Structure formats: structure tokens, C-alpha cells
Structure 1
Amino acid sequence: MELALSSLLCITLLTIFFLKFLSKRKNSTSEKKIANPPPSPPGLPVIGNVLDFGKHAHRSLKLLSERYGPLMLLRWCSVPVLVVSSAEVAQDIIKTHDRAFSSRPRSNFLAKLMNGGQDMAFAPYGEYWRQMKRIYVLHLFSNKMVSSFRNVREEEINSTIEKIEKTISSSSPTNLSEIFMTFTNDLICRVALGRKYSGGEGVPDVYELLRKLMSLFGRLYIEDYFPFLGWIDILRGLAGEVKEITKELDDFLEKVVQEHSDGDRQIVDFVDVLLSIQRENTTGFEIDRVNLKLLVADVFIAATDTTSALLEWAMTELLRHPECAEKLRDDIRGNSSDRSRYVSEEDITDMRYLEAVIKETLRLHPSAPLLVPRQLIEDVRIKGYDVTAGTQVLINYWAMGRETATWGEDAEEFKPERHLDSSVDFRGQDAKFIPFGIGRRQCPGIGFALVMAELVLANLITRFNWEIATKPEGDHYDLAESTGLVVSRKYPLLAYASPAS
């Protein structure tokens, strides 16, 4: 709704500028000519293909690709946007053009929110980004570091089980959406910050802060496309929201870092690790206060909503397919040393059907259907088409997960069995399966996220029987999606739990 209203507002306000704009464009000799551009759907004056993106861009772009092909060039106002919708094209990017596709678009929004895009997720490709990623890979998400938080994961999963048991005793349905968000938020708070921040006297509510922060992603920022109309964002109240949440986030992270800096602490969480690196300069790369806070912020932005959404969709599909839930329970119990106790990390190593359920969920319901936008840093020729530097790039993994050429005629069906004999993994080198990104910009926290998801799902399935609390009004209700960079369920997932026999 906001997208449509904003677009109409743009059209109204820009009408008086349009003839002058068009005249300048025609007379411009500096505009680079493209010899053989990819197919392009027709767009509207000034705003281009903005309305073609629709409420759920991944769905709208898939429909467009069925008409114009797996490589399309659209225009978001004055910005060219390349849309990739097939594994074959994405594979070409990995093999031939990975470096060219490895940067991020700049925006006024990120400049205000993430200190000019100095965090690892949104930083442009270059030496600064490489050093930031190296810190994540070697110090925060190494196998050793992930393993060190094993006890924290076990405690939070047991706490989650206790909450579900209370709903059983009260004969109330369990709000699994809330359960999963609380679990991921509390776990990541403990791992990254050393303790929970879930509201209360003198304690900020990180979940509420994250909710407000995520609401800003995916919004239309007119200033990014028409700088001289930035005042519209002010009138809409959007500029004020960004300023307020930026200050709130910075104040919170500053307080956390200061708490860790005071006194003599052992290394117990991510902030401690980063402060240790900062003091000892072990990376040869100077981490200042701003860098440190942004590194921590990325953990919340990248891990909380995405992991919660993965668990939501996995349970949604298992409730819709009870035969799959039963196969999963058999797999878990067949590989657990003691079916009456907590399913451990050693237990899940050999649970092939559990891994297949996670893979199938990520295929059909990727947390970020369009991944994170990229920007070309040099001209490329791909599949016979010419694309110029500066073009933004969207990889529609949601569409790729439904390609019949890759997954068969039953590509729209939830069928974990398709992964049991498949060697395709999450590592981003096979474009058929890239829910965590592709190439250089792949998410470095894959192992951290997967162990969280697999453990909580295994324990919930083996300990409880589940029945949907409300009869869905067809697939529209059951599978309705939220909007934004991360796509979760639109409606909370409510289910009745009972002790499993």
C-alpha cells in the first residue's frame, strides 16, 4: 500500500518536472549506450518499473521473468535493476563474474542507519569489506566459536520446552511464531552480548528495537532516487523514523560495549571477542568503536529474523504435511541415544531427514527471497547481454527454488525426500541452492544459524505432538507472507501441543 501511494505521489509531484527531465535526457551525450541490453518490460515515465515490483516483489518478478526471461533489466525510477531468476544464470555469475557482482548499492537510508554502509553486510566491495568479513569468519563464526556456545543453546532450548509445557497445562495453543522469535532473540543476545535484553526495568527490549529496525528495510526512500525530492521523506515522517531508530540502536550498542569495557572480563561473547581484537590488534586491521558496534548490529539484523522465519516455515510445512512430521520424528528418535532426553548436537549429525526438511524449507521459503541487493562494479557480458557498471542486481532465489528445470514438475510441493540423495549443499558454489547467498557475499554465519534451527526443531518434534489451532482458509491464510527484506508468515502460527508418546 505504501509503495503504491508513494509511487502515485511521485507521479503527481514530478509531472511539472517531467518535460524538462525528458528533454535533458534526450540531449544528454554522456549517457552510456548499451549495445545489447537484457529484455526490459515497458515502464512508466519517471518511475519506470516501480509498480511492477508489487507488494511481494519476489512473486511479481517471477511472473515477469516467465514472460521476459531469466535475465531482465528493469528501471527503479532512474536506477537500472538487473533481475536474475534462474540457476543457470546465477551459476555463470559464480564462475565468471563473481567479483563484478560483489558490491552493494549505496543509499541515503543506509548512510544514516549503518554509518554510511560501514557494516559488513552492506559495505561496498573492497579491502574494508574483506577485513570485516575476515573477522566474522575467523573470530565470530569459526567452528570453535560456534561450539563454545553449546551450553547456551541447550539452556535456551530447554527454556523453550518449559514454555510449551506450560501452554499444555493451561490447554492454550502455543504461539510458535512468538516462541521462535523469543528463542532466537534470547539466544543471540546471550551469544553476542552476554545476556538477555528482553525488556523490564532498566533493560531495553532488543526484540522491539529489532522489529522497528526491520520495518525500515524494504521501504521506498524517495531521496535515493530523486535527491531533490528528499523533503517528501521528511513529510512522510520516514526521515524522522530513521533518525530516531538510528539513535536508539546506537545508544543501546554503546551501552553494551561500555558495560563490556568496564572491569576485567573473560571472553564469553562476541563483544568480548571484538574488544580483545581491538586491544591486541591481532588482525592488523584497526577496529574503532563504530566498526565494533556495526559488527554486533549485523549479527542481530542477519540472524534473528531469518532464523525465526526458517523455523516458522518449517513448522508450517510439517503441520501441513503430518506424514513428513512423522518421518522426521522417526529419524530423530532413530539417531538419538536417549529418546526421553534433550536431543544433542552429536545426535543431529546423522539425522538426514532433519537436514532434508531444513533444505526443503529453505528452497520453498527462503528468509530473504531476493537475497541482499548487489551492484555491478564493472561492465559485464552475461548470456550474450551487456550490462553496465552501477546497475543494481536482484537475485530472485524464490523463483529459482521453483524452477521445474531444476526441481522437477513437483517443484511447488513440499517434499524433503528430494534432498536425501542430493549432494547439493548450502555453501554457495552450486547456484541451484543458495539460500544464504552466493560467491564472495555469501553469509558467513551459516553454521551458526543451522545448528540453532536444527536443534530446536528436533527437540520440538520429538518431545511434542502438534495440531494446528485454527483451520486455515485455504493456502492463502496458511502460507500468507509478510513484506520486507526478510519474509516470514503474515499471521502468527498457532498450534496445540501435547506430550509425544
Structure 2
Amino acid sequence: MGLNTLLQILWLPFLLLLPLLLLLNKNKKPPKHYPPSPPKLPIIGNLHQFTQSGSSPHQNLWRLSKKFGPVMLLHLGRIPTLVISSAEAAKQVLKDNDLNCCSRPSSSGSRKLTYNYLDMGFAPYGEYWREIRKICVLELFSVKRVHSYRAIREEEVAKMISSISKESASNSCVDLTEKLFAVMGSIAFRVILGTSFEGSSFEHDRFHQVLHEVEIMLAGFTAADFFPSKIGYLIDRISGKQRQFERVSGELHRFFQQVIDDHLKPGRIQQEHDDIVGVLLKIVKEQTGFGAAHLGHDNIKALLVNLFLGGIDTGAITMLWAMAELAKNPRLMKKAQDEVRSVVGNKGNVSESDTEELPYLKMIVKESLRLHPPAPLILPRETMAPFKVLGYDVEPKTLVMINDWAISRDPEFWKDPEEFIPERFDGSSVDFKGQHFEFLPFGAGRRVCPGIYMATTTVELGLANLLYSFDWKLPEGMKEEDINMEETTGELALTISKKTALNLVPVKFSG
């Protein structure tokens, strides 16, 4: 056998393998490029950094983003969590990849309340959620429906002003925090349930307390959600969380069932405009346009929880921060009062139609939402397909948190971001409807809040009447710089308010 023949035989296996090697190399996927992550601990991952005591989660995440960047991957127990802290990254998530990450994380643990209270805001993406969303947009929060509740809003705001007027006679402080949460609760009660607190079977303070517990449940952590289910469930049972969830869901179930039963009683007096429960019961009866997603009484109860969670705290918190900032800045307070008083004149109160002629008031509302977003972390989403954000790979089943608080204070978009400057919106096209990703108090994309018009209409009316009816003074011996502007810390919640109550002295405006 010649040398050439021998070499050909030796090379033959390599020649036969060459096409296979080329094929394997062609099909080889490029390595994944995941976002940077802080160091994590065994089992708990980065939970200790997210829930660091003495500070709010959105501030903790903001500080971490300064080190690890605007796209950051945390591990909350067993849940991979993408944290977004820039407008460009938010745009790529909420607009460019909205369909890939518009679901909600399903609760595997005890946080899943009886008959699933999480329908509208928290339900996973699918046919059922789309139908519920359609009802909210076309039936519950349409411009026509919002206008139909105008008299309720004006009556309740007038009651608040009357109450403050009585207290102003003694030249004493008024707890504006209490007043604002009370008026938002009264409006929500009448619009949603068709009755006032006085006419209900549920005491005012108790109802708000139960809602607050639900909010903490939805925002907070349960062991069963972030750790292996059997271990997590056992921890929740031992810690008492499971009993708390069962108690709270039971209270809400009984209360809302009584509301539904009252609406279904024969001979019930028909109101001029249907309250939201009445609208939903009509849809249940007709079942039009639902297909596979049939609506029942349990779904109504779930929607009611969503509506109360979104309809009380957010509006009260926005007005509260606005009044606190104006109290710290007497020049801005006077500018706002001069505007509203020049438009309203001697009418004695501000109507909703008047607020359309108050551009500076609208700037104040926008600036309050920018500097103090009531929900600083937009409700978490869950990814359904792989995609990229700023070049980083994101896998399915990843929790996505968007830090609106950090984005709305980004100096790249906002000059003097820590300062309260309503004039920054003068002549600006930047709005809160989900098209400007540097300003996302109501979210964006498919999950944008459907109640924007209802919320801003109520806030503008309440704030305008406070500014029109009274001159606001600080308590004796107090200076503007003494006003505490700290946020609430401690328990995780969907909304973040002012840490201390706002106490001001109202002086009745005589015109």
C-alpha cells in the first residue's frame, strides 16, 4: 500500500465528519447576554436587597440601578425579576415588546384570594382579561359614564369644603390627610356601590383597613410565591398569613355579596344613573359579547376590589402631595389660587366645567404625579416570550418591575428632577396617558390604567376647590422647611403616601 493511499484512508473519517461539524456549528445558538445582577444569597436570592428595612423598595431598586444599570436582573427567591429604571428601557418593554410581557404573574401560594380577586388589574393575559378590559374601557370608564357621575363628585367635594369651613371658624389645624382619603372613599362608595358609607353595612374605617390589608397582600411577599410550594405554604401557615388572607377575603366576600343582593331585590329604587355594580349586573344578565369568558357574581366582586384599590388611595395621595408641595412653596400656592379664583369669580365653588380653564392647576397635578407617583413601581408583569431590552436577553416567566419613581426623576429628561416645578409642563406635550415613557404614573401599553380620565377629573375638582375656598397657613411656629416630605416605609404596598399627616390651618376665602 502506497503512502498516498494510506494518507487518504487516514483522512477519510475527518472528511466524512466535516459536513456534520459544519452543520452543528451552524445550528449552535449564540450565548445569551443577560442583564447584570447584584450578588445573591442562597435560597432567598436578592430578597434582602429588595426589602431592606428603613427604605422603600423603589428607592432600594433605584440605588441598585445606579450601580448595575437601568436594566437589572434580580432573583426574588426562585423568581427571576427584571428591573427597569430608564425611559428607553421602559419603551422597549411597554411598547416594542408589549405583547411579549403583558401578562401577570400567577400566584401559586396563599396570596391567591378566594374566588380570585385579581381579575382586571392582575389576571393573566388572555381572552378573559381582554373581555374584562373591554368592559372597563367601554362601560365603566367611558367619558359618558364618567360624566354621569359628575353630580356625585361635586356633592362630595362640597361636603368636604363645608366640613373644613366649620373647623376653620376656630382657627385650628385641619388634618388634610384624613379629609382627602375620606372624600375619595365617599366618592368611590357612591359611584361603585350606589350608596354612601352612612347607608352601608360596613363601617368606614374598617372598610379602608380591609382594603389596605388586601393591598399589602397583593404587593407583599408570601413564602409560597417565592419558595418551593410545599415549604412556602407551610411557612405561610405557621406565620399566620394564610389565616389573614382567609379572614380578609371572607369579610370582603360577605360585604360585596350583600351589596349584590341589595341590588337584586325587587322594588329597589332606580337611580338616575346606574352605579358600577348595577352596570355589571346588567352585563351578567345579558352576557353579550363574552363568548367563553362568562361573567358571574364572583367576578363582579373581584372587579370591585380592583376598583376600590385604584379609586381611593391614588387620588387622595396625589392631592395630598400637591397640597404639601404648595404649602412649602407659597409663591406657587398664590399663583394657583389666583388662577382658580379669577376663573370662578364669586360663584362660591368650583364646578368640573371650570377645571377645563385651569391650565396651571393641571400642571400642578402632572408635577405631583411626576415627583410623587402614588404607585412608584408599576404593577409587575410576567413575560410570555423571549425578547431583548437594551441588548440584554429576557426569558419567559420573568417578572418585570418598572420603577416609575426612578424614571420620573431621571436628570436625562428632567431638569432639577428633585424640585417641584409645575411650570416644566408649560407648553410641553408630555402627558401621562402612556405615550411618553419618561412619565408613567398610569403605566402604558395594554396594561395602562383604564381609569385615567375618572382619576384626573376627580383630583382636579378636589384640588381646585381646596385652593379656591381657603387660604392655607402653617401651624403656629412652623416654617415651610419644617414640613415633613418623607414617604411611608415599612410594609410593602401598591401605593406610597406621605409618611406624616398634613396639618394646615384653613382661612376661609371671602372673595
The Cα of 1:150 is off from its aligned counterpart by: 0.8
2:310 matched to which residue of 1? Answer: 302
Matched residue pairs, number?
467
Q: Do the aligned partners of 1:58 and 1:370 also contact (CA within 8 Å) in 2?
A: yes
The Cα of 1:357 is off from its aligned counterpart by: 0.3
Identity rate, percent = 39
The Cα of 1:41 is off from its aligned counterpart by: 0.9
Name which of 23, 35, 53 aligns with 1:38: 35
1:406 aligns with 2:413: yes
2:500 matched to which residue of 1? Answer: 491
Q: Do the aligned partners of 2:62 and 2:85 also contact (CA within 8 Å) in 1?
A: yes
2:338 matched to which residue of 1? Answer: 330
1:450 matched to which residue of 2? Answer: 456
1:224 matched to which residue of 2? Answer: 225
Q: Do the aligned partners of 2:36 and 2:69 also contact (CA within 8 Å) in 1?
A: yes
Residue type at the aligned position of 1:40: S
The Cα of 1:115 is off from its aligned counterpart by: 2.9
1:234 aligns with 2:230: no
2:22 matched to which residue of 1? Answer: none
1:250 matched to which residue of 2? Answer: 253
Partner SS, residue 172 of structure 1: coil
CA distance in 2, matches of 1:84, 1:110: 28
CA distance in 1, matches of 2:71, 2:40: 16
Moved more, 179-188 or 342-351: 342-351
Residue type at the aligned position of 1:331: E
1:49 matched to which residue of 2? Answer: 46
Moved more, 467-476 or 250-259: 467-476
Give the direction of change, closer, same or farther, for the CA distance of 1:452–1:33 in structure 2 (3 Å limit). Answer: farther
Residue type at the aligned position of 2:370: R
Partner SS, residue 478 of structure 1: coil
Please give the residue correspondences for 1:382-401 in structure 2 after superposition, counting only pairs within 5 Å.
382-401=389-408
Cα RMSD (Å): 2.1
Q: Do the aligned partners of 1:329 and 1:462 also contact (CA within 8 Å) in 2?
A: yes
2:301 matched to which residue of 1? Answer: 293
What TM-score do the two structures reach when normalised by structure 2? Answer: 0.87
CA distance in 1, matches of 2:199, 2:374: 26
CA distance in 2, matches of 1:33, 1:369: 36
1:466 aligns with 2:472: yes
Partner SS, residue 477 of structure 1: coil
The Cα of 1:111 is off from its aligned counterpart by: 5.4
Residue type at the aligned position of 1:403: D
Give the direction of change, closer, same or farther, for the CA distance of 1:188–1:327 in structure 2 (3 Å limit). Answer: same
Q: Do the aligned partners of 1:469 and 1:495 also contact (CA within 8 Å) in 2?
A: yes
CA distance in 1, matches of 2:328, 2:480: 13
Q: Do the aligned partners of 2:328 and 2:481 also contact (CA within 8 Å) in 1?
A: no
Which segments of 5 or more consecutive residues in structure 1 lack a partner in the other structure? 1-31
Please give the residue correspondences for 1:360-399 in structure 2 after superposition, counting only pairs within 5 Å.
360-399=367-406
Which segments of 5 or more consecutive residues in structure 2 lack a partner in the other structure? 1-28
Q: Which structure has the larger Rg over C-alpha atoms?
A: 2
* Structure ranking higher on relative contact order (CA contacts 8 Å, 6+ apart): 2
2:84 matched to which residue of 1? Answer: 84
CA distance in 2, matches of 1:298, 1:76: 25
The Cα of 1:432 is off from its aligned counterpart by: 1.5
Give the direction of change, closer, same or farther, for the CA distance of 1:238–1:33 in structure 2 (3 Å limit). Answer: farther
The Cα of 1:472 is off from its aligned counterpart by: 7.6
Give CA deviations for 1:107-143 in whole Å, capped at 9, x if unaligned.
1457532634651110001111010010000111000
Name which of 423, 434, 449 aligns with 1:417: 423
Give the direction of change, closer, same or farther, for the CA distance of 1:114–1:331 in structure 2 (3 Å limit). Answer: farther
Give the direction of change, closer, same or farther, for the CA distance of 1:74–1:208 in structure 2 (3 Å limit). Answer: closer
Residue type at the aligned position of 1:276: K
The Cα of 1:174 is off from its aligned counterpart by: 0.7
Give the direction of change, closer, same or farther, for the CA distance of 1:341–1:102 in structure 2 (3 Å limit). Answer: same
Residue type at the aligned position of 1:107: S
Residue type at the aligned position of 2:394: V
Give CA deviations for 1:218-240 in whole Å, capped at 9, x if unaligned.
33211111222222222221111
1:58 aligns with 2:58: yes
Residue type at the aligned position of 1:371: I
1:182 matched to which residue of 2? Answer: 182
Q: Do the aligned partners of 1:370 and 1:398 also contact (CA within 8 Å) in 2?
A: yes
Give the direction of change, closer, same or farther, for the CA distance of 1:474–1:214 in structure 2 (3 Å limit). Answer: farther
Give CA deviations for 1:344-374 in whole Å, capped at 9, x if unaligned.
1111112111110000000010010001011
The Cα of 1:198 is off from its aligned counterpart by: 5.4
CA distance in 2, matches of 1:73, 1:331: 47
Give the direction of change, closer, same or farther, for the CA distance of 1:312–1:243 in structure 2 (3 Å limit). Answer: same
